[in-house]
Amino acid sequence: MLNLAGVLMFTERPEWIVPQFVVKAIRYPGNAIHANAYIDTEDFSGPLRQVFDYTQSFIMRNLHKVQAGRGVNSPGQPEIPESVFEELLVNALVHRDYLVSAAIRIFIFDNRIEIISPGHLPNNLTVEKIKEGNSNIRNPILVSYVAKGLLPYHGLGSGIKRALKAWPDIDFVNDHEGCLFTATIKRKALEELTLMESSPTIPATMSGKMSGKMSGKMSGKMSGKILEALRHNNTQTTPQLAERLGVTTRTIERAIADMRKAGLIRRVGPAKGGRWEVLA
């Protein structure tokens, strides 16, 4: 019989059978939830690994890039280490309560990032205990397969400790009444960061790469428009981008070719059904 673990790991569309198996991610302006205003939003569904990869990419593209002692033309480092979200996302996907009819939610604000999982900590677990490395398995079959390499899983009970070691400024709330577990990753104030971006249209790293590698083939204005469109929807095709930006498909093809050479974007997956990952 097809059980829950089989649905999550081996079906192409698990959300058809388990509708709550989705991740809803949204980037809000400022530090509060808005009814209609948002900067970026996506829902992620599909096999477990795909949901993890797409959600991780969404978070990373909405972080600031910092110089971290590097030259101005070097690729920026994310303001918060990627390993932090890797650990917390795996924890959310593996240990959430799949019997609760709700999605995992990712809220990105200017001052924090919230990962909200359905289901409070099971049995006698507390926030203090999980910080010490204690664990109680809610989904044992799922954990057994994830531990074999389905997700970047590094051992039972160790994920929270690794996340805190990489970024100590994380708060956890175990809400029994609301049946939720929330991890809140605090972001540094903008003025504390040495950003790679020098303008809202085109990052400084991009302008350096473009001057050296694109040889004036594409303006910063066009590249900024393409990046903004891909950040909003990274599965758009060349014709869709051309229609959105009001240019020819050939213009988009040339621009994308130059941007790929410059290391600003890369293709993940096949030409049909894949997606774009924004690196700048």
Among the residues of 78-219, which ranges form H helices? 82-95, 127-131, 140-145, 159-166, 204-209
Same domain assignment for residues 77 and 176: yes
Same domain assignment for residues 73 and 19: yes
pLDDT band of residue 195 (cuts 50, 70, 90) is low
Last residue of one domain, picked from the residues 191, 224, 241: 191
Specify the pLDDT at position 215. 38
Same domain assignment for residues 101 and 206: no
Specify the pLDDT at position 169. 96
> Which CATH number goes with the domain that contains 242?
1.10.10.10
- 244 burial (CB, 10 Å; 0-12 / 13-18 / 19+) is middle
Same domain assignment for residues 130 and 245: no
Last residue of one domain, picked from the residues 153, 174, 191: 191
pLDDT band of residue 204 (cuts 50, 70, 90) is very low
Same domain assignment for residues 155 and 184: yes
Task: Tell me which residue range forms the domain holding 224.
Answer: 199-278
Last residue of one domain, picked from the residues 191, 207, 233: 191
Same domain assignment for residues 155 and 176: yes
pLDDT band of residue 227 (cuts 50, 70, 90) is confident
Contact 110, 190 (CB under 8 A): yes
Same domain assignment for residues 186 and 204: no
Specify the pLDDT at position 206. 43
Average pLDDT rounded to a whole number, residues 193-216: 45
Least confident of 166-170, 188-192, 268-272: 268-272
Q: Calculate the average pLDDT of the chain.
A: 82
Q: Which amino acid is it at 174?
A: N
Residue 253: both structure tokens together? 């093809």
Is the pLDDT at 202 greater than 90? The verdict is no
Same domain assignment for residues 139 and 208: no
Least confident of 36-50, 183-197, 224-238: 183-197
Same domain assignment for residues 81 and 9: yes
Domain count, the chain: 2
Specify the pLDDT at position 111. 94
Same domain assignment for residues 59 and 172: yes
Same domain assignment for residues 207 and 239: yes
Higher pLDDT, 157 or 206: 157
> Which CATH number goes with the domain that contains 112?
3.30.565.60
Give the C-alpha separation, 43 to 22, whole Å: 7
Share of the chain above pLDDT 70, in %: 85
Same domain assignment for residues 66 and 157: yes
